[in-house]
Structure 1
Amino acid sequence: MSQQVRGVVSLAKGAPVSVETIIVPDPGPGEAVVKIQACGVCHTDLHYREGGINDDFPFLLGHEAAGVVESVGPDVTDVAPGDFVILNWRAVCGSCRACLRGRPHLCFNTHNAKQKMTLEDGTELSPALGIGAFIEKTLVAAGQCTKVDPSVRPAVAGLLGCGVMAGLGAALNTGNVNRDDTVAVIGCGGVGNAAIAGARLAGAKTIIAVDVDDKKLEWATEFGATHTVNSKLTDAVAAIQGLTGGFGADLVVDAVGRPETYRTAFYARDLAGTVVLVGVPNPEMKLELPLADVFGRGGSLKSSWYGDCLPSRDFPTMVDLHLQGRLPLEKFVSETIALDGVEEAFTKMQKGEVLRSVVVL
């Protein structure tokens, strides 16, 4: 029997979001209905509203979520009603060439629920990142549900579903930070500060935060940055080299995703150092670098999609580290809001006033 619940919908490009009645069908084969307890407001949700992802309006927004499985469809064995889960947007298939080679975090055939949630008039909704979690209950593929320790606060746990995991993974998985490494992170919003937290967790000896906003640099210090650079006032490459013995950082994470920040990352790394791009560029952006510099400097230029995470492996580990007091996930939660506060949260996000607003149901 389908259910009627409230959810936040983007009906048209650039228009304010609204809380609408949503029809959620019973879970079919391989699907689950999850009662959402908390969902972070991510920049990706704003990109959906602005038409920056695609034009498949209307969108059911929200994807950084945690909640409790309410019901499951046939053939679901990994989760059961009552399980506390974090939702992820990469339910791996287990049978593509990446999965069969033991690289499921690179799965080329991730999937979502096959059924569609709809408005009352039957209009099908496009769920953000295949989740749609600014809602009281949502329908997802069962593989998008990752069980974690239920003693963690939902408002904290849900943030691992996207931005925080992307940043942590950019440092720990893609960047492979080691003890005593030097690390620079460009862009100190949610993703960048998560990369800083990951570098600290791994034991990096020098962690340099780079941003144009002093408030964000203050946040970066709280997450473990040992030095800060305001690149509006100081040449970031020279500053990073000056803080690393003149060599540049072993790892530079670009959490902004613009040509100018990537060039800074490229030249701010040590010879044979690593650059990790985790900030999301728009399709119109172009990058020019002297090919001789790319060849002559060696090292690695990597992209990090979702922090190269495997949710079934990484989410429980990060929750456990948080519960041990080693990973301060609570610092990412700037405020908690209701469903009808999402539009205002977008405004605060654009002004740089919050790391994360979190919808709590």
Structure 2
Amino acid sequence: MDTLLFLTILVVIFALAFDFINGFHDTANAIATSVSTRALKPRTAVYMAAIMNFIGALTFTGVAKTISKDIVDPFVLENGSLVILAALTAAIAWNLITWYYGIPSSSSHALIGSIAGAAISAAGFGILNYGGFLKIMQALIFSPFIALAGGFLMMTLFKIVMKNRNLFKQNKRIRYLQIGTAALQAFTHGTNDAQKAMGIITMALIAAELQTSDDIQLWVRVSAALAMGIGTSVGGYKIIKTVGGKIMKIRPVNGAAADLTSAMIIFGATLIHLPVSTTHVISSSIMGVGSAQRVRGVKWGVAKKIVLTWIITLPISATIAAIVYQVLALFF
């Protein structure tokens, strides 16, 4: 078999594996609050999230096109298939490490950092598309702050609406609302996160000269959506524990406010074709909601650990990818 074709097949397999791992790694983000408040049983929540992730993944392609061309230009990247394979290997490794320890790190940071690190290792810093790369970095950096403020405002609005009402009765009703907000959040997760694997596969197809445009082929969309849906059905209960309980004590009203906030921000990013970290957005929304209720109610020690993981993910994944590329280059 031709070496380039072999590498392209490997990239497709690894990209779908990344999407599968992203599914069970980030499932917790979409359903953590609804499980923590017992609005949904864990198994029911996971299956619902799997279906909504699949539907969301098939609906849009703008983020996939951004990933495929805005970090590096696949049309000029030499050894493109090898670069992408190294990036996927590094991103998968970091995702598995953080999943094992129950840390809600960002799959988006891991993937984008890995692509940049592998590309720089292969062709130097000049290979980066700095305009597109900075645009992506701005979306990743600013979206958690927007989510923090949005969660605060959403919870404040909920408090005004629910003023002078029986809290017990409201909690019971809001649990039903949470089923809808969790489904919406899973859908928006699919519209953004699943497209990252689609973009990677498209990059590999361009690098192998198997396609000449950045259009996302139908088989790529379906296979990536399936991989994420199946991964979601496996579930990520360790991260549910962190996102859904260790940041703050979550009641139904808190969960609904956080879900609505994060779903709006993620879907907004999808509409303007920008990848964001669903992990960052959802965790920040929960912190914002907690701050609106009681600042001391947020366990800021856990929040600091999550933020630290956000900060170190990109440079660590970039370094791992750079090393992996050099190792792979010895064999190919």
TM-score under structure 1 normalisation?
Answer: 0.23
Kindly indicate whether structure 1 or structure 2 has the higher relative contact order, using CA contacts under 8 Å at least 6 residues apart. Answer: 2
The structure with the largest strand share of the pair is 1
